[in-house]
Amino acid sequence: MRYIGDFHLHSRFAQASSKKITFPSLEKWARKKGLDVLGTGDAAHPVWNKEVKEQLKDEHGIGIYRSKTGFPFVLEMEISLIYTHLGKGRRVHHVILFPSSAVLDQVIEYLLKHGRLDYDGRPIFNITSEQLVADLRSISQDIEVIPAHIWTPWFAMFGSKSGYDSLQDCFGNQSQHIHAIETGISSDPQMNWRVPELDEKNIISFSDSHSFWPWRLGREATMFELPELTYKNLLRGIRTGKGLAGTVETEPAYGRYHWDGHRNCNFSCGPEESKRLQGICPVCKKPLTIGVDYRVEELAKRPATYKRKGAPPYWKLMPLHELIAAVTGKGLATKDTWTTYNRLLAECKDENTVLLETPAHELARVVDEDLVKTIIANREQRIDVIPGYDGEYGKLKLDWVDQGRIAESSKKNEEVKQAQKGLRDYFS
């Protein structure tokens, strides 16, 4: 049976997260999105951990914690490690999955010996990545540590600002216990295939969502083909690839750190231009924030067209709200966008069904031609995106919509000119 899971998200106790996140809200929007299982997010935070224990139960002892209405969750958190290693300051984020609340309690006890857990859902510790993996494996070998959004500049294993140039440098003799990496919004599997060191690592994708809204939750996810939804089966999929059916990715250019640039200077560029500029912003003359595309080129040993043999498939999909907003020119959370979104979901099972399966002729019964074209183009990976950079999301470029707007604007301008001419003729 196929399950779509998002195992990297946050509670309302993480910085820059919605203060309205609850388990019922996560469940509600996961169902609308078309997700089958979620991570709990921030499982070690004391208040959120209390809510986990009160609201989610693993009645069958299989590592799957269900809400009162039966929606499944996996115990999960993200941790921020800030430390000095190999002569450089490091800031690296990891996603951690837990097999049981008993094991999670032991990890909480371990972490409290190194600092606090109550000030942020994503706590910070001065522990090396290598030491963390070794210590957690001494608690339980069923704990899984996954390098999070591995290419983003500021807090990632391969990040340009404080990361490493190799997985081996990051994890040392614990490298063999890293079984999978998370692509992050600004990269996709094919970009990661270019790095031979990752050949033996499975590639998974999750949203790193800081809210429950469907343009964030599940925007990236991993598909599993499993005989039964258990932690053991999920873990086997992540570690061996058996049962790993593919990933849902956004277009990498949509990510906030795909290209190099400076948000405050309104400047961005690709790797070749960055090299020509020697990494210096032409506006403020300070070093550019080097993005994912540049770092992949820097560490890649293979061409951009390289395909890993036997790799699971992946689908590059923009969230439905993004498509609607791009077509209408309205904001993501506006009434008009929600009206169109709800109309589509009323006719289809959920958002993923709209994005992946619903035929064009059925969509045409619900929404206009431009949006139908956009949904199909999204499905067929024919949407161009102006790359994001330095914390700015990329912007969709829809030629079929833009041309229509230009034509409509020209028509209105011509109508205004004719009206003005008519007035002049009347009074002359």
25-31 LR contacts (CB < 8 Å, sep 24+): 25/212, 26/212, 26/217, 27/67, 27/69, 27/71, 28/212, 29/212, 29/213, 29/214, 29/217, 30/6, 30/71, 30/217, 30/218, 31/71, 31/350
Across 394-409, b (16+ Cβ under 10 Å) vs e yields bebebeebeeeeeeee
User: Are 144 and 186 in the same domain?
Assistant: yes
User: Are 238 and 354 in the same domain?
Assistant: no
User: Are 227 and 373 in the same domain?
Assistant: no
User: Are 52 and 150 in the same domain?
Assistant: yes
User: Are 13 and 66 in the same domain?
Assistant: yes
In a domain, 284, yes or no: no
User: Are 231 and 329 in the same domain?
Assistant: no
Last-in-domain residue among 239, 254, 269: 254
List the domain range (segments joined by +) for residue 352: 320-384
List the pLDDT tens digit at each of the 428 positions of the chain: 999 999 999 999 999 999 999 999 999 999 999 999 999 999 999 999 999 999 999 999 999 999 999 999 999 999 999 999 999 999 999 999 999 999 999 999 999 999 999 999 999 999 999 999 999 999 999 999 999 999 999 999 999 999 999 999 999 999 999 999 999 999 999 999 999 999 999 999 999 999 999 999 999 999 999 999 999 999 999 999 999 999 999 999 999 999 999 999 999 999 999 999 999 999 999 999 999 999 999 999 999 999 999 999 999 999 999 999 999 999 999 999 999 999 999 999 999 999 999 999 999 999 999 999 999 999 999 999 999 999 999 999 999 886 654 344 334 444 444 544 544 444 34
User: Are 122 and 8 in the same domain?
Assistant: yes
User: Are 169 and 138 in the same domain?
Assistant: yes
User: Are 360 and 411 in the same domain?
Assistant: no
User: Are 245 and 367 in the same domain?
Assistant: no
Q: Please name the residues in contact with 106: beta carbons below 8 A apart, sequence gap of 6 or more.
A: 139, 140
What SS3 class is residue 188?
A: coil
In a domain, 95, yes or no: yes
Name the residue type at position 262.
Answer: H
